[in-house]
């Protein structure tokens, strides 16, 4: 068994749960009660790539090692986007925290879970990048030698 296999399995499961959690949250927390759900859920389309990247890293991390930096960068952007969103909506978040009794299922609970999950995902992505780095170097060297062979064969 590979060293980071349980980490990659956990990352994939977390990303699937996170996507369904986001879909449900967007459907429930839309700004207007009469507003359609679809436009808000379509904003999450880019988030569907995270479970796919985690799946490819789970299946064959050496072959899809290029997804590691992309995954980590995307999760870092997601982390900072949620933090900025928290700054702009801090008044609503604070009022929800004061008036609600079950914080896990309210706006502050959802944001806390998203922030902690994204931070853990960035950390896991960095571990995966570190583990697959030799594979990336070898695949780059193989691609360069193949390009050199093709250039020499064409002359």
pTM score over 0.75: no
Q: Is 84 left (phi over 0), alpha (psi -120 to 50) or beta?
A: alpha
pLDDT digits (tens, 9 = 90+) for 24-69: 777 666 666 666 767 667 777 888 899 999 999 888 877 888 888 8
Q: Which residues of 120-129 are buried (b: 16+ CB within 10 A; e: fewer)?
A: ebbebbebbb
User: What is d(CA 42, CA 24) in angstroms, rounded to the nearest whole number?
Assistant: 12
Please report the pLDDT score of residue 1 as a whole number: 44
Using CA atoms, how far residue 154 sits from 137, 142, 148, in Å, is 26, 18, 10
Span between the terminal Cα atoms of the chain, in Å = 45
Q: List the chain residues with pLDDT less than 70.
A: 1-3, 27-35, 37, 39-40, 92-107, 133-155
């Amino acid at each position: 068994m590979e060293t980071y296999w349980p980490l990659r399995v956990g990352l994939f499961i977390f990303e699937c749960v996170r996507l369904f959690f986001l879909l449900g949250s967007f459907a429930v927390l839309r700004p207007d009660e009469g507003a359609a759900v679809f436009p808000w859920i379509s904003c999450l389309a880019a988030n569907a790539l995270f479970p796919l990247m985690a799946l490819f890293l789970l299946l064959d991390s050496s072959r899809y090692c290029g997804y590691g930096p992309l995954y980590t960068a995307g999760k870092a952007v997601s982390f900072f986007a949620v933090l900025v969103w928290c700054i702009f909506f801090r008044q609503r978040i604070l009022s929800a925290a004061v008036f609600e009794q079950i914080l896990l299922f309210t706006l502050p609970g959802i944001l806390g879970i998203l922030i902690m999950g994204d931070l853990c995902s960035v950390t896991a992505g960095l571990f995966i990048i570190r583990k697959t780095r030799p594979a990336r170097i070898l695949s780059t060297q193989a691609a360069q030698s193949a390009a050199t062979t093709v250039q020499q064969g064409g002359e």
